[in-house]
């Protein structure tokens, strides 16, 4: 031990610790942040802003479709709007917002001082932000992508889309992939190597499991779409003919690559949602989650199976029947692990004592909506039904039930659940109930009629429809529902603003929850835990004995983090974590210039690799510890280990 905790007076030591872990303030300092709480907050706020933008686009579409033969939007604008809506919701909202929750809460939930690779996480945020700005700048310059969020060639090839619109889409994908891959690596490492002593693999909170499983899916799924979108750019930029039928390219190849990513993507969005459900459900049922092992294994098996059913997006392309039967079977079987999770949740509620606070309401809303979405999913797995309702509003209804039900409802639950932890303020319980009610009614009014519209033959992605089809009244109803959802979001934002301005402080653990993020103050200090915890069970705050020891031996003047073993979380060594740095920002700027430049000329890749190289040299420039740098790897020095509880205190 280089520094003994009890050698210095605790108060003084805590102050020093907080100074060590503080990110610089001020406008200039803002670009230097590496604290996972700061980056996580930015991720959440940015992703939610994109959610609002894409929501506005959705409202415009509902306005256009509210009556037949409407000329409110031109077909060109409508196509840009639905493409940008889908692309935003998938790549700039659903994935990043879940990763943002992971970035903020994973280190807290496993009792760590920081996230693994903090500068990489900062870099990922800048890439995500720049990608999003790039998409919306293009959209407002009338260069928004207009070939659908899937961007199928040949439509997306330069022959049929000569403008830069398809390139904008393809490069946005590259931005968000770089960002999400970086986050996935950090989250996996955090969950595997930075856990509090005692948090063996079978005591890891389910939300952490969900994030780890999701991150692994990101690692395997994203490269596939990266390959597809890059090959598309190459086709357009330098004429490689990957998908160009005229030159023996193959249009179907793209679809396989895209959906090998595209289907797991659904689970990348939905699995963190189930993690949120398990977390909130357990807290508000006042008991440990029933069937922890079954749920964890369900998540893992969903992830594996999720890669085996992409062809059900392509049943109409003429895949031979034997092949289709296999993918039908896979699509049906994947309902089993989700079913098991449902049964475990019901069992948890059955034997618990439910407290009906706002977060729990959102979870109940999730049950109703996701159940319907999941069951229409089983229906869609059947080829005879699928080839009828594929690419109709039935599918639009289905995946909004799955994604809004499976991800957005739990997300709103999570926001009301964790808002006090992040901000130190409580959202209004009364307003929360109204928001939930408006959203639930509005959502069902908007999307339930779409099932019927689809069964009546209304295809997707049409900017208008003739009055004679008789689709007008149900479309009007759907548009009316959208008004309710808009009201709900406005009311929610108003309550957030009110809460942030109110003087009333939230307690550290307002819900009496069991996981470690509630063991620290609200909002958490710079170092997350003034005394890093150890755990004695799956629900540490409910199970830990009063004299549960802390981790000692981490220096307060240096960014020391305890690294533990993967399986049993035994202390391994302590690692010095990087300090704030401008280089992630600079590197992201250089990468952005390269990505955007390469839309216009292949030479951009050559020229902009120079500033990119220089930025990375700056990033990796070695510094001695005297200069405030980190130790060169490996930095194994001492094994601190969980000591006996210091005299200063026992309970966490």
Residues between 380 and 439 that touch another protein (CB under 8 A) = 381-388, 390-392
372 binds another protein (CB under 8 A): yes
Nearer to another protein, 130 or 310 (CB): 310
Nearer to another protein, 145 or 424 (CB): 145
# binding residues, another protein (CB under 8 A):
74
Q: Interface mask (CB under 8 A) for another protein, residues 229-268, using x and -?
A: ----------------x---xxxx----------------
Binders in 48-77 for another protein, by CB under 8 A: 74-76
Q: How many CB atoms lie within 10 A of CB 148?
A: 18
Question: Could you tell me the CA-to-CA distances from 409 to 111, 277, 352 in Å, in that order?
Answer: 27, 9, 22
Nearer to another protein, 319 or 487 (CB): 319
- 638: tokens are 């001492």
Nearer to another protein, 270 or 465 (CB): 465
Nearer to another protein, 234 or 252 (CB): 252
635 binds another protein (CB under 8 A): no
Nearer to another protein, 460 or 573 (CB): 460
Cβ atoms of 623 and 583 within 8 Å: the answer is no
Give, as one character, the DSSP assignment of residue 89.
I
Q: Which of 24, 162, 323, 339 binds another protein (CB under 8 A)?
A: 339
Shortest Cβ distance from residue 283 to another protein (Å)? 14
Shortest Cβ distance from residue 216 to another protein (Å)? 24
Nearer to another protein, 100 or 374 (CB): 374
Shortest Cβ distance from residue 99 to another protein (Å)? 29
In 3D space, the residue among 123, 108, 136 whose CA is nearest the CA of residue 43 turns out to be 123
Asked if the peptide bond before residue 154 counts as cis, ω within 30 degrees of 0, the response is yes
Cβ atoms of 175 and 50 within 8 Å: the answer is no
316 binds another protein (CB under 8 A): yes
Q: How many CB atoms lie within 10 A of CB 270?
A: 26
Q: What is the per-residue DSSP string for 330-395?
A: HHHHTHHHHHHHHHHHHHHHHTS-----HHHHHHHHHHHHHHHHHHHHHHHHSHHHHHHHTTBHHH
Cβ atoms of 315 and 387 within 8 Å: the answer is yes
Asked if the peptide bond before residue 634 counts as cis, ω within 30 degrees of 0, the response is yes
589 binds another protein (CB under 8 A): no
Q: How many CB atoms lie within 10 A of CB 325?
A: 11
Alpha carbon 629 to chain centroid distance?
32
Nearer to another protein, 324 or 531 (CB): 324
Shortest Cβ distance from residue 11 to another protein (Å)? 37
467 binds another protein (CB under 8 A): no
Nearer to another protein, 90 or 422 (CB): 90
543 binds another protein (CB under 8 A): no
Nearer to another protein, 233 or 344 (CB): 344
294 binds another protein (CB under 8 A): yes
308 binds another protein (CB under 8 A): no
293 binds another protein (CB under 8 A): no
Shortest Cβ distance from residue 321 to another protein (Å)? 6
Q: Which residue has the tokens 């983090």?
A: 561
452 binds another protein (CB under 8 A): no
Binders in 345-364 for another protein, by CB under 8 A: 346-347, 349-354, 364
Nearer to another protein, 329 or 490 (CB): 329
101 binds another protein (CB under 8 A): no
- Part in contact with another protein (CB under 8 A); list of ranges 45-53, 373-381, 471-479, 624-632: 373-381
In 3D space, the residue among 579, 585, 575 whose CA is nearest the CA of residue 628 turns out to be 579
Q: Which of 105, 169, 290, 529 binds another protein (CB under 8 A)?
A: 290
Start-to-end CA span in the chain (Å): 22
Give, as one character, the DSSP assignment of residue 544.
-
Q: Which residue has the tokens 């405030």?
A: 628
Q: Which of 104, 342, 419, 550 binds another protein (CB under 8 A)?
A: 342
Rounded CA gap, 151 and 161, in Å? 10
Q: Which of 60, 219, 300, 378 binds another protein (CB under 8 A)?
A: 378
Rounded CA gap, 573 and 550, in Å? 16
645 binds another protein (CB under 8 A): no
Give, as one character, the DSSP assignment of residue 459.
B
Nearer to another protein, 350 or 600 (CB): 350
Binders in 116-175 for another protein, by CB under 8 A: 147-148, 152, 154-155, 160
In 3D space, the residue among 256, 173, 193, 188 whose CA is nearest the CA of residue 219 turns out to be 188
Shortest Cβ distance from residue 235 to another protein (Å)? 14
Q: Which of 321, 501, 546, 634 binds another protein (CB under 8 A)?
A: 321
User: Residue 573's beta-bridge partner residues?
Assistant: 563
Nearer to another protein, 376 or 520 (CB): 376
User: Residue 564's beta-bridge partner residues?
Assistant: 571
Mapped onto helix, strand or coil, the DSSP state of residue 36 is helix
Shortest Cβ distance from residue 90 to another protein (Å)? 16
336 binds another protein (CB under 8 A): yes
- Part in contact with another protein (CB under 8 A); list of ranges 15-23, 90-98, 458-466, 530-538: 458-466
Cβ atoms of 61 and 118 within 8 Å: the answer is no
113 binds another protein (CB under 8 A): no
In 3D space, the residue among 174, 190, 196 whose CA is nearest the CA of residue 36 turns out to be 190
Nearer to another protein, 207 or 290 (CB): 290
Q: Which residue has the tokens 């490269």?
A: 223
Residues in the chain: 652
487 binds another protein (CB under 8 A): no
Question: Could you tell me the CA-to-CA distances from 330 to 274, 319, 395 in Å, in that order?
Answer: 20, 15, 19
């Amino acid at each position: 031990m280089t520094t003994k905790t009890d050698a210095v007076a605790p108060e003084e030591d805590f102050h020093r610790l907080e100074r060590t872990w503080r990110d610089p303030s001020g406008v200039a300092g803002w670009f230097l942040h590496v604290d996972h709480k700061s980056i996580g907050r930015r991720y959440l706020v940015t992703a939610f802003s994109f959610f609002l933008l894409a929501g506005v686009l959705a409202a415009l579409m509902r306005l256009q479709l509210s009556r037949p033969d409407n000329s409110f939007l031109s077909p060109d604008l409508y196509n840009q709007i639905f493409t940008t809506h889908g692309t935003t919701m998938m790549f700039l909202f659903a994935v990043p917002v879940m990763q943002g929750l992971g970035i903020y809460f994973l280190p807290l939930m496993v009792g760590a001082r920081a996230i693994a690779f903090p500068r990489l996480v900062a870099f990922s945020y800048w890439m995500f932000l720049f990608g999003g700005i790039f998409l919306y700048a293009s959209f407002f310059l009338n260069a928004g992508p207009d070939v659908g969020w899937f961007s199928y060639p040949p439509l997306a090839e330069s022959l049929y889309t000569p403008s830069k619109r398809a390139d904008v889409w393809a490069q946005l994908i590259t931005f968000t992939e770089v960002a999400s891959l970086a986050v996935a690596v950090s989250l996996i490492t955090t969950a595997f190597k930075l856990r509090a002593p005692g948090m063996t693999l079978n005591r890891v909170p389910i939300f952490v499991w969900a994030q780890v499983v999701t991150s692994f899916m990101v690692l395997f799924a994203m490269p596939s779409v990266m390959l597809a979108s890059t090959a598309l750019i190459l086709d357009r930029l330098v004429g490689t003919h990957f998908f160009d039928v005229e030159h023996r390219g193959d249009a179907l190849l793209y679809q396989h690559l895209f959906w090998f990513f595209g289907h797991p993507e659904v689970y990348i969005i939905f699995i963190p949602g189930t993690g949120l459900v398990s977390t909130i459900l357990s807290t508000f049922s006042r008991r440990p989650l029933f069937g922890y092992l079954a749920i964890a294994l369900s998540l893992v098996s969903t992830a594996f199976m999720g890669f085996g059913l992409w062809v059900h997006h392509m049943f109409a392309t003429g895949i031979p029947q034997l092949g289709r039967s296999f993918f039908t079977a896979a699509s049906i079987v994947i309902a089993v692990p989700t079913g098991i999770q449902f049964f475990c949740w019901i069992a948890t509620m059955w034997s618990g004592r439910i407290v009906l606070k706002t977060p729990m309401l959102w979870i109940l809303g999730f049950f109703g909506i996701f159940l319907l979405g999941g069951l229409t999913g089983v229906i869609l797995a059947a080829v005879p039904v699928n080839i009828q309702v594929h690419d109709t509003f039935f599918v639009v209804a289905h995946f909004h039930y799955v994604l809004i039900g499976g991800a957005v409802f739990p997300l709103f639950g999570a926001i009301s659940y964790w808002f006090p932890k992040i901000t130190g303020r409580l959202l209004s319980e009364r307003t929360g109930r109204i928001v939930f009610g408006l959203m639930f009614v509005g959502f069902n009014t908007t999307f339930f009629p779409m099932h019927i519209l689809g069964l009546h033959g209304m295809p997707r992605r049409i900017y208008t429809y003739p009055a004679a089809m008789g689709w007008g009244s149900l479309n009007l109803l759907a548009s009316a529902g959208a008004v309710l959802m808009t009201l709900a979001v406005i009311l929610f934002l108003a309550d957030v603003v009110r809460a942030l301005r109110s003087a009333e402080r939230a307690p550290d653990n307002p819900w009496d929850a069991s996981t470690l993020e509630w063991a620290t103050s609200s909002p958490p200090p710079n170092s997350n835990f003034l005394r890093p915890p150890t755990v004695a069970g799956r629900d540490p705050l409910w199970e830990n004995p009063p004299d549960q020891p802390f981790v000692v031996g981490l220096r307060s003047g240096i960014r020391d983090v305890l690294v533990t073993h993967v399986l049993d979380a035994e202390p391994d060594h302590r690692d010095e974590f990087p300090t704030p740095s401008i280089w992630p920002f600079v590197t992201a700027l250089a990468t952005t210039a390269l990505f955007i430049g390469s839309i216009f000329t292949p030479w951009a890749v050559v020229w902009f690799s120079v500033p990119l190289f220089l930025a990375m040299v700056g990033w990796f420039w070695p510094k001695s510890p005297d200069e405030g740098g980190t130790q060169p790897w490996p930095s194994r020095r001492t094994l601190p280990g969980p000591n006996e509880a210091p005299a200063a205190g026992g309970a966490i």
